[in-house]
Structure 1
Amino acid sequence: MPWSGFQPSWRPGCRSKRSTQRASRNGQPFSRASHEQAALSNRLERGSNHPDAANVKAGTGPERRIRQALHRRGHRFRALLPIVVSGVRVRPDVVFTRRRLAVFVDGCFWHCCPEHGINPRVNVTYWVPKLERNRVRDNLVNLALAAAGWRAVRVWEHVTVEQAVAAIEAALEKGERAS
């Protein structure tokens, strides 16, 4: 049975429970868990079981919590806004466009945190160069942003939300005083 999305009602204008309930392909109520399981099985069937295939690139828990805390404090920003500077495309987690401030929430493993970063013990020939490329890319992004007049704030994922927001607000205040 092809995907039908919302079930049509038996008469026009009818808003019965059945007409507004989203159903899956087999007619059972739609659930996020079953959807994610189906997406994973589809990805594996297609053969895209690359180590990075299931890694979330944006919207991780620490990013969401920091964005929520900033918004609660009245700050308005853009999330994941692509910035192209000096031929380098950058997608910071939080962007304050008027103040030209880019905030990155770096994962301890992926960006080699000095406190919590671990050295992989398996498949070292793959992981060590990959993690080193991440560090080199982070430095390149920082330099490109600085050359274009942007400021970059990098926050580790293990830092508490309060500490991260305090660091971001300090950078925002510093930018206001410099203007």
Structure 2
Amino acid sequence: MPTSDEDPWSPPDGSWASSAARRRNMQAIRSRDTKPERLIRRLVHAQGLRYRVSAKPLPDLRRTADMVFRPAKVAVFIDGCYWHGCPKHYVPPKTNPGYWSDKVARNVERDRDTNQQLIDAGWTVLRFWEHDSPEACADQIIVAVSRLRRSRNKS
């Protein structure tokens, strides 16, 4: 706990944050309920589909999907262009490039691993970029969930 003389925004000892301003900036970045996520959820919900938000598709998987349709076994991810290395929009950082480029590379690898684990468990994985049209994303989700629900109900 900082004493009254210390700056409460100063990075803790050993922190990777390069400055107090950078630390505040990084803490403000949303990991869930981003604008693209909210737009897509609103469109899907308006079509009568219900889902879990920021939920683990598999109990033993220490990762969450942005939207989870459990009965249909569909996991939806809406990935940010910077954090997930979008091939169209990712721009390598100018500040501390080694750290951030490695972090993004680890995120991409974790995304691939997550996809594989879910597919191996019988799930359908839908991934979208934050720049994708919310309407197009919602349409794909609705089609996939509806199709999978019908096929599971026939079995």
Q: TM-score range by the shorter chain?
A: 0.7 to 0.9
Residue 126 (structure 2) pairs with residue 153 (structure 1): yes
Preserved CA contact (<8 Å) 1:83 1:91: yes
Preserved CA contact (<8 Å) 1:83 1:89: no
Amino acid at match of 2:126: V
After TM superposition, the score normalised by the length of structure 1 is 0.68
Deviations 1:3-23 (A, max 9, x none): xxxxxxxxxxxxxxxxxxxxx
Residue 134 (structure 2) pairs with residue 172 (structure 1): no
Amino acid at match of 1:61: K
**1:130 corresponds to:** 103
Structure 1 residue 176, shift from structure 2 partner: 3.6
Structure with the greater relative contact order (CA < 8 A, sep ≥ 6): 1 or 2? Answer: 2
Residue 54 (structure 2) pairs with residue 80 (structure 1): yes
Larger radius of gyration: 1
After TM superposition, the score normalised by the length of structure 2 is 0.78
Gaps of 5+ in 2: 1-6
Q: CA RMSD in A?
A: 2.2
The number of residue pairs the alignment matches comes to 137
Residue 89 (structure 2) pairs with residue 116 (structure 1): yes
Preserved CA contact (<8 Å) 2:32 2:66: yes
Deviations 1:12-58 (A, max 9, x none): xxxxxxxxxxxxxxxxxxxxxxxxxxxxxx96267475474222111
Gaps of 5+ in 1: 1-41
Preserved CA contact (<8 Å) 2:76 2:126: yes
Distance 1:58 1:64 in 2: 9
Structure 1 residue 77, shift from structure 2 partner: 1.0
**1:57 corresponds to:** 31
Distance 2:102 2:86 in 1: 16
Structure 1 residue 116, shift from structure 2 partner: 1.4
